[in-house]
Structure 1
Amino acid sequence: MEVRRITLNIAGRSYPLNVPVAEEHTLRKVGKQIETMIKEFENSFDVRDKQDALAMCALKLATNAEVAIQNNERNIIAVNDRVKNLNQILQNEGK
């Protein structure tokens, strides 16, 4: 696996990272999203401390991730129920 050294700037600090080349684009994209969120929090809520803005970003990102996990779990359950129903229909038609 090829690794590349990149630097992400978040909340006024530089973070040098060694990342797999395949993940570089994603990390840079997420870094930009975090920077955008920080600016939005600073402007919308008059946040002056970067630590507070970062904490709010972490909370928002974690909440979004948890909601996505719960939605995926519900979708998996719904798909499994549909497959069971279809199997039952196919079994009943074969009799």
Structure 2
Amino acid sequence: MDVRRITINIAGRTYPLNVPSAEEETLRRVGKQIESMIKEFEANFDVRDKQDAIAMCALKMGTNAEVAKISQEKNIKSSTERVMQINQLLEDLEK
């Protein structure tokens, strides 16, 4: 596996990381997204320091991930139920 050394800047701090090449673009995109969210929180809310903005960012990203997970689980359940219905229809046709 090809590993690259990259640097991500978040809230004025630099974080050197060793990451698989396949993940580099994703990590850079997420780093930029975090920076953007921090700036948005600082501009729109009473943020006392970077730590508050980072905490709000973490909460928002965690919430988004959980909502996406729940949605995916519902889609899987719905798809599974639909496949079971189709299988039942096919079994009924065979009779």
Which TM-score bucket, shorter chain as reference? over 0.9
SS in 1 for 2:47: coil
Name the CA distance, whole Å, in 2 between partners of 1:64 and 1:79. 22
Secondary structure of residue in 2 paired with 1:14:
strand
Distance (whole Å) between structure 1 residues aligned to residue 45 and residue 18 of structure 2: 34
- Deviation for aligned residue 1:48: 3.4
In structure 1, the partner of 2:67 is: 67
Distance apart, 1:14 and its partner CA: 0.3
TM-score by length of 2: 0.97
Counterpart position of 1:6: 6
2:48: which partner in 1? 48
State, as a whole percentage, how many aligned pairs show the same letter: 68
Tell me the TM-score normalised to structure 1 length. Answer: 0.97
Runs of 4+ in 1 over 2 A off after TM superposition: none
Question: Which residue is 1:83 aligned to?
Answer: 83
SS in 2 for 1:69: helix
Query: What SS does the corresponding residue of 1:68 show, helix, strand or coil?
Result: helix
Unaligned stretches of 5+ residues in structure 1: none
Aligned length: 95
After superposition, what is the alpha-carbon deviation per residue over 1:28-81, rounded to whole angstroms, capped at 9, x for unaligned? 000000000000000010313000000000000000000011001100100010
Give the Cα separation in 1 of the matches to 2:66 and 2:28: 22
Q: Which runs of 5+ in 2 are unaligned?
A: none
Task: Please give the secondary structure, in 2, of the residue aligned with 1:48.
Answer: coil
Alpha-carbon distance in 2 for matches of 1:59, 1:46: 16
Please give the root-mean-square deviation of Cα atoms over the aligned residues, in Å: 0.7
Match of 1:58 in 2: 58
